[in-house]
Structure 1
Amino acid sequence: MANFHVIGGATERLAHPTINKIHTADLIDSLRLGVADFWEKPSHMVLLALIYPAVAIVLTVWASGYYTWPLLYPLLGGFALIGPFAAIGLYEISRRREQGLDTSWHHAFAVLHSPAIGSIFAVAVLLFVVFTLWLTAAQALYETLFGAAPPMTIDVMLQQILTTPQGWTLIIVGNLIGLVFAIVTLCTTVVAFPLLLDRDVGAAAAVETSFRAVIKNPLQMALWGLIVAIGLVLGSIPLFVGLAVIIPIFGHATWHLYRKLIEPEVATMPAQRARSTKPGKIA
């Protein structure tokens, strides 16, 4: 039964939240609200937000010392794949602020006491599997084009990539493969973690709802993914320091995007009142 709770949620039936149709203005408004959340109490985001720059710097040093330069770009790009899980504390802060509750930084860790914590970790495992597959695919592509021996310096690697036909093949094909992994991540998690924080629906319903949200709003979700990708790139340019601002803003904005995408849960009514109430819409 515990395993079913993780996959199927707290109820006997799998939840089927209603999906709303959104517009580009909703994306802009979500970003605006995300900025407002961040600036309301930016100090409580420092610990969480600096994880990204710190890890990025560590990975850079590690790659330099062990001559694994070909994986440096996939590692940095892979942060976008695990970002939805890493930002879960930010969703919680936005949720509490929405309800008028205290939003001190330690409340970001309140998710550990969520009744849906098992489902949250289940979806997180899915993300880390995708992340691992991305690194494996990137390494396999490089070795197919240049062989198993890694370049000894970054200068050699850049020369390989920028001045040879194999290098341009690596750039084009590698980014196309990365795009596929990014789309998979977007489809499976765009609202999964905020939904699990808001309702104990189970991992299966959270992932399925994310897919339905993308299918119902393909252009808006594609634009949202592009906005996030551009923001992460811009935040990474100044030695990753910009991520300390970009990550919290996107984290908060994702919560507000979830609110726009998913119809609020309707409280259960007594049977006699339910019979006299018109049925709600179904996505």
Structure 2
Amino acid sequence: MANLHVMSGAGDKLDMPIIRTISTADLFTALRRGAADFWEKPSHYVLLILIYPIVGIVLAMWMNGYHTWSLLYPLIGGFALVGPIAALPLYEVSRRREKGLETTWGEAMNVLRSPAIGSIIALGIMLLVLFTLWLTSAQALYENLFGSSPPNTFNGLLAQIFNEPGGMTLLLGGSLLGGVYALIVLCTTVIAFPLLLDRDVGAYVAVETSIRAVLRNPIPMLAWGLIVGLSVFVGSLLLFVGLAVVLPILGHATWHLYRLLVEPASHIRQAPTA
């Protein structure tokens, strides 16, 4: 029964949220609201936002020490893949601010006590599996083109990409491969985590709702994925320090995107039971 709850939610019938049609202009509305949430009380998230540049610096040092520079690009892209997990407290801050509730750091971490935490963990595991598959695929592509001996320095990686025959193949092939994984994550989780915080609908409905949102709004949702990807890339420059601002704003904005995409809980259609 616990596993069933994780997959289908707490109710006797599936809560099937109603999806709205949005435009690309709504994406910028979500971003503005996300930025407003971030700047309202940024001191509350200092500990959270420092995680991103610290992790980035540690990864850079790790790659420099163990000569794994070939994974630099996949690791940067991985921030976008696993970002929804790290953004959970940010969704909670936006949710509480929307309701006029306290938005302290302690209150934000109450997300760990969410009734839907089982479903959230299940989706988090899915994202971690996708992240692992992405790194494995990227490494396999590199080794197929250049062998199993990666460059010792970042400059060595750049020389391989721009001077050796397989460099452009690695760059273009890796980007295409990463785009496939990013599209899978976008379709399955673009609003899944905010939905689970708002309603305990279960992992299945959360994923299904995200897929319906993308299918109903393909252009805005693809544009959102592009915004996220480019923002993460820009934020990763200068030792990932920009991620301390970029990712929190994107996290808050995702909550507001969810609000724009999904009808409130009072507008529910239930799937018929067998």
TM-score band, normalised by shorter chain: over 0.9
| Mapped pair 1:252 → 2:255 | no
Tell me which residue corresponds to 2:9.
Answer: 9
SS of aligned partner of 2:185: helix
Tell me which residue corresponds to 2:25.
Answer: 25
Structure with the greater alpha carbon radius of gyration: 1
For residues 235-271 of structure 1, what are the alpha-carbon distances to aligned partners after superposition, in whole Å with 9 as ceiling and x for unaligned?
1213211111111111111101000100001189xxx
Tell me which residue corresponds to 1:168.
Answer: 168
* Unaligned 5+ runs, structure 1: 269-278
Q: TM-score, normalised by structure 2?
A: 0.95
Maintained 8 Å contact 2:70/2:157: yes
Tell me which residue corresponds to 1:127.
Answer: 127
For residues 110-152 of structure 1, what are the alpha-carbon distances to aligned partners after superposition, in whole Å with 9 as ceiling and x for unaligned?
1111100000000000100110000000000000001112223
2:199 and 2:59 map into 1 onto residues whose CA distance is 36
Maintained 8 Å contact 2:17/2:267: no
SS of aligned partner of 1:10: coil
Letter in 2 for 1:252: H
Tell me which residue corresponds to 1:106.
Answer: 106
Give the fraction of aligned pairs with identical amino acids, expressed as a percent.
62
Cα–Cα, structure 1 residues 163 and 267, in superposed 2: closer, same or farther, change >3 Å?
A: closer
Maintained 8 Å contact 2:120/2:193: yes
2:67 and 2:90 map into 1 onto residues whose CA distance is 35
Residue pairs, 1:69-80, within 5 angstroms:
69-80=69-80
Tell me which residue corresponds to 2:144.
Answer: 144
SS of aligned partner of 1:165: coil
Letter in 1 for 2:256: H
2:177 and 2:14 map into 1 onto residues whose CA distance is 33
2:149 and 2:231 map into 1 onto residues whose CA distance is 34
What do you get for the CA RMSD once the two structures are aligned?
Answer: 1.5
| Mapped pair 1:68 → 2:73 | no
Residue pairs, 1:1-283, within 5 angstroms:
1-266=1-266
Q: How many residues align?
A: 270
SS of aligned partner of 1:233: helix
Letter in 2 for 1:145: L
1:67 and 1:210 map into 2 onto residues whose CA distance is 38
Maintained 8 Å contact 2:79/2:232: no
Letter in 2 for 1:234: V
Give 1:83 deviation, angstroms: 0.3
For residues 163-190 of structure 1, what are the alpha-carbon distances to aligned partners after superposition, in whole Å with 9 as ceiling and x for unaligned?
1220110001000000011111111111
Q: Which piece of structure 1 moves more, 213-222 or 68-77?
A: 68-77
SS of aligned partner of 1:16: strand
* Unaligned 5+ runs, structure 2: none
Letter in 1 for 2:119: S
Maintained 8 Å contact 2:115/2:200: yes
Letter in 1 for 2:86: A
2:171 and 2:212 map into 1 onto residues whose CA distance is 32
Q: Which has the higher contact order (CA 8 A, sep 6+)?
A: 2
Q: Which piece of structure 1 moves more, 56-65 or 149-158?
A: 149-158
Q: Which piece of structure 1 moves more, 148-157 or 239-248?
A: 148-157
Q: TM-score, normalised by structure 1?
A: 0.92
Letter in 1 for 2:44: H
Letter in 1 for 2:53: P
